[in-house]
């Protein structure tokens, strides 16, 4: 029995040891090593009232940046404003209401920002949802919020970014883009990436929207050639955040022990965003995709010139830019 018990304890010890190594080396991932100070710089972070967006905002404010918290909910945005100011010990933090699911709201935000702020050095398109439905403009919710809202926002602020160059546009995508596809027929017919509502169809549409993020960055980099604006897309890692806040309580309870061990916390999840925003020497990698603070190769569908241009032109029409 003692031999059996010793053998059992050895196995348990090995499992715990492997788990510890996995969690610390794989799950936690690399950290942004930039020591850049941002005094005199202005940053917009969308979806910065929670999750990795809030951690990103805190980090940038701590570095001295003037940080605009661009969030849909005024109540949650103002709570986040107090928290970011307290944690960063900075008074250069401002809340501005932005609903990416409303083209009118995006235009109003951009207009107000351009009137009240002199600079824009970093635009971080962080907000994202995993939720079905339609926007007020009749777009599929994830297509409208995760892609079109950021597409319009970026284009409305591009001239200010160019004026303040060198500047950057950082768009938070996901490794889920690898499973995405762009159904242009569905987009033209339904203004949505898909029409199904099952769990798997919802996850497919989310992946599709993340592929839009990568293709948008790919095409944007081409259009920014010759300027001092660079752009990057990224996978933040599997994050234990509020992205799944619209899921059922049962699913959340089942996932909690898994996410706690296998997923990054929000501070760890913000590191690749910060790397793309701050790291010196990556200007020549404009348009590329990063994960774990490292540039990554993409599957052909995620750097398809024809698809990226077609998506851009379709997005111009759906956002009212043309």
What pLDDT, in 10s, does the model give residues 6-54? Answer: 555 565 444 444 444 444 444 568 999 999 999 999 999 999 999 999 9
The first and second tokens of residue 105, run together, are: 């709201």
Please say whether the beta carbons of 110 and 56 come within 8 A.
no
- Per the rule left: phi > 0, alpha: psi between -120 and 50, beta: everything else, 299 is beta
pLDDT score recorded for residue 24? 45
Question: What is the C-alpha radius of gyration for the chain, rounded to an integer number of angstroms?
Answer: 20
Question: Which residue has 């300027």 as its token pair?
Answer: 227
pLDDT score recorded for residue 65? 98
Task: Single out the catalytic residue among 7, 20, 206, 232.
Answer: 206
pLDDT-based confidence at residue 301 (cuts at 50, 70, 90):
very high
pLDDT score recorded for residue 253? 59
pLDDT score recorded for residue 29? 83
If one counts every other C-beta atom within 10 angstroms of the C-beta of residue 29, the result is: 18
Residue 310 has pLDDT above 70, yes or no: yes
289: annotated active-site residue? no
Task: Measure the N-to-C terminal CA separation of the chain; round to a whole number of Å.
Answer: 78
Residues 6+ apart with CB under 8 A from 198: none
Q: What does the mean pLDDT of the chain come to?
A: 90
pTM of the model: 0.88
Highest mean pLDDT among 195-199, 228-232, 236-240, 258-262: 228-232
Distances (CA, A) of 263 to 58, 127, 165: 21, 19, 35
pLDDT score recorded for residue 119? 97
If one counts every other C-beta atom within 10 angstroms of the C-beta of residue 152, the result is: 23
The Cα 10–Cα 286 span in angstroms is 49
Domains of the chain: 31-319 (3.40.50.720)
Across the chain, how many H-helices and E-strands are there?
12, 8
Locate all alpha helices (DSSP H) within the chain, ordered by sequence: 2-22, 51-62, 74-88, 103-116, 141-142, 149-163, 184-190, 199-223, 249-262, 266-269, 271-278, 305-319
The Cα 185–Cα 294 span in angstroms is 35
Residue 275 has pLDDT above 80, yes or no: yes
pLDDT score recorded for residue 149? 98
Query: Is it true that the peptide bond before 166 is cis, omega within 30 degrees of 0?
Result: yes
Q: Express each pLDDT in 114-151 by its tens digit.
A: 999 999 999 999 999 999 999 999 999 999 999 999 99
pLDDT-based confidence at residue 303 (cuts at 50, 70, 90):
very high
């Amino acid at each position: 029995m003692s031999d059996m018990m010793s053998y059992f304890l050895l196995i348990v010890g090995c499992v715990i040891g492997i788990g510890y190594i996995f969690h610390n080396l794989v799950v936690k991932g690399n950290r942004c090593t930039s020591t850049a100070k941002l005094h005199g710089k202005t940053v917009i972070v969308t979806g910065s009232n929670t999750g990795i967006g809030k951690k990103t905002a805190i980090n940038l404010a701590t570095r001295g940046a003037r940080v605009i918290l661009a969030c849909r909910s005024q109540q949650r945005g103002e709570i986040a404003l107090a928290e970011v100011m307290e944690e960063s010990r900075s008074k250069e933090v401002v809340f501005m209401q932005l609903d990416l699911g409303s083209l009118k709201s995006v235009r109003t935000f951009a207009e107000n920002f351009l009137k009240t702020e002199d600079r824009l050095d970093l635009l971080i398109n962080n907000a994202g949802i995993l939720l079905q439905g339609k926007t007020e403009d009749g777009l599929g919710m994830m297509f409208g919020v995760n892609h079109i809202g950021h597409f319009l926002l970026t284009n409305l602020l591009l001239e200010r970014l160019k004026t303040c160059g060198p500047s950057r546009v950082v768009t938070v995508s996901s490794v889920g883009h690898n499973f995405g596809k762009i159904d242009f027929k569905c987009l033209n017919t339904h203004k949505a990436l898909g029409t199904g509502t099952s769990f798997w169809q919802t996850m497919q549409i989310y992946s599709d929207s993340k592929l839009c993020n990568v293709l948008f960055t790919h095409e944007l980099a081409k259009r920014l050639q010759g300027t001092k604006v660079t752009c990057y897309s990224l996978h933040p890692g599997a994050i234990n955040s509020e992205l799944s806040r619209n899921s059922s309580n049962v699913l959340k309870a089942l996932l909690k022990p898994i996410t706690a061990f296998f997923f990054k916390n929000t501070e760890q999840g913000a590191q690749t965003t910060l790397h793309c925003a701050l790291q010196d020497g990556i200007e020549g990698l404009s348009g590329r995709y990063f994960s774990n603070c490292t540039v990554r190769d993409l599957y052909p569908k995620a750097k398809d010139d024809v698809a990226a241009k077609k998506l851009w032109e379709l997005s111009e029409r759906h956002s009212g830019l043309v």
